[in-house]
Amino acid sequence: MNRTCIALCALAAGAAPLAAQVKVVNMIPPRLSNEAMQNSEPTLAVNRVHPERLAAAMYIVGGNFCSRATEAPIFISSDTGNNWQSVCKIRVDSSSTISPGDVSLRYSVEGDSLYAALLWPNSAPYTMQLYRTDDVLSEKSFLSLWHRDTIDQPVLEVMPWRGKNQIFVGASFKFEPAGTAGVLSGTGLGTESAFWWPVVIEQRPVIQNPAVRLATHDDGTVYAVYYGPRPPDGSLSDVVVVRDDSAATRANPFTALLDTPVNAAGGLCGGHDGLMGIRVATCRIVPFFYGVQPRVGWQRQVSANLSIAINPRNSRDVWVSWADSSFGPSFQQLHLRHSTDGGRTWGTSDVLAVESAMNPAIAVTDSGRVGFLYQQLVKADTGRRWVTQIAVSRDDFATSQTVVLARTSAGTPVPLFQPYIGDYIELHALGDTFMGIFSASNYPDQASFPNGVTYQRQVDWERHRLLDHSRNMEVAVSIDPFFFSVGPAMPPAQKP
């Protein structure tokens, strides 16, 4: 069943929200209150053994508060996201004003170590660095595990496998002819020899694969979803899901899903070709270019807007979301679909579709509740706004409740670079609680946060001003990361 949300997605609520069950925190700590960077593309790691311990990163330059050897910080919380501190961990060129890009963080299975995959140098041809630290709170730099040039948009997952941390990095491998989607995997032992040669998961003709997203299950199941821009010019793309059932440790990994029986009827946009990967959708318009304000809120388009998640109780129960511009008047639509047979079938219609939205992120709780996080561009009396919201359902979105986390300006601040608020955000499920991270304008207005918000950085709420760390000078509005959690009992649905 297709359920489409056009512009305003949630239902109005008759009762006041239960603010105690929703937490939103601006993560910039007091000592960085002078900071006015465009802190987009956030990542969040949740420690499964010590869930109060969190780690996060985003575009941020260390400036004069980090040493010359470790110029880029990460952010650490030891109290489930109530308070955050910056820790200088990432080695970069001390003369650079460009931060590491596409940072992805994940804790080890036992919770003692933190892994990071990122781009540095963050310029063509791009070098992917894979790091580990065994002392998250110290300012001792990450240990380098592996690096390789011409890899873009890395995303990291860590899972248990035969008593070890099995690491997966999905990425666009630009060293392949024309570039293609792939997955690196290894044991994370701390040496390059522990890492295998990249597995190319795209076997069809391709112009350039822009992004890969991963989901893992403790039984050894690994899924990857990616766009496949097809010849002759890449203007039409497939959305493809692959699966491996043995943590990618056996011969011919990621071949659990073959597009069979072979039947070429339908040409480019139909039929079955027998190759690895099930095409969830075919011949979708997925452009990639710098957005313009009237249409997409200065946000870069569409080719990293992917998410995939597994039900922790059943590794064959999997959800996927993507963005394309094939339908509707709003230029971009999010699609959410569900498979109950391990990705073999996905149906022909969306479980949920959201107009004028981007940055999908899915997670499934231990009780089977599905959370769908996204940012939707809406018109308001105060101008266009990014509405960050999470829809939660127990019944495949036949019914759902939506919590609005933030309604922030899509025009203030003016962008310094692309992406503006980022090509992705993240959502995690721990027990029956959702935790996540997003980027948005930090203009201090309580009305922008209907379930409340806490700012760590210095702020004058009465006059809607950001202040420096000494509270003596006003600081320009910028893009900041926000942590949030939504507890087991849901508040009433709210209007965007």
Question: Residue 103 has what pLDDT?
Answer: 95
Question: Residue 381 has what pLDDT?
Answer: 75
Question: Residue 233 has what pLDDT?
Answer: 82
Question: Residue 300 has what pLDDT?
Answer: 63
Q: Count CB atoms within 10 A of the CB of residue 472.
A: 8
d(CA 4, CA 25): 30
The answer to whether 34 touches 416, Cβ cutoff 8 Å, is no
Tell me the C-alpha to C-alpha distance, in Å, between residue 407 and each of 337, 376, 440, 495: 26, 9, 9, 11
d(CA 212, CA 197): 17
DSSP-derived pairing of the beta strands 212-216 and 314-324: unpaired
Question: Residue 290 has what pLDDT?
Answer: 45
d(CA 353, CA 46): 28
State the pTM of this model.
0.92
Phi/psi for 146 (5° steps) reads -165, 150
CA 430 to chain centre: 16
d(CA 459, CA 455): 7
Q: Which of 166, 122, 147 is nearest to 419 (CA)?
A: 122
CATH number of 4-13+35-379+425-438: 2.120.10
Question: Residue 477 has what pLDDT?
Answer: 98
Question: Residue 289 has what pLDDT?
Answer: 57
The residues of the chain scoring below 50 in pLDDT are 6-20, 192-193, 290, 294
Question: Residue 304 has what pLDDT?
Answer: 85
Q: Which of 292, 359, 293 is nearest to 321 (CA)?
A: 359
d(CA 94, CA 100): 12
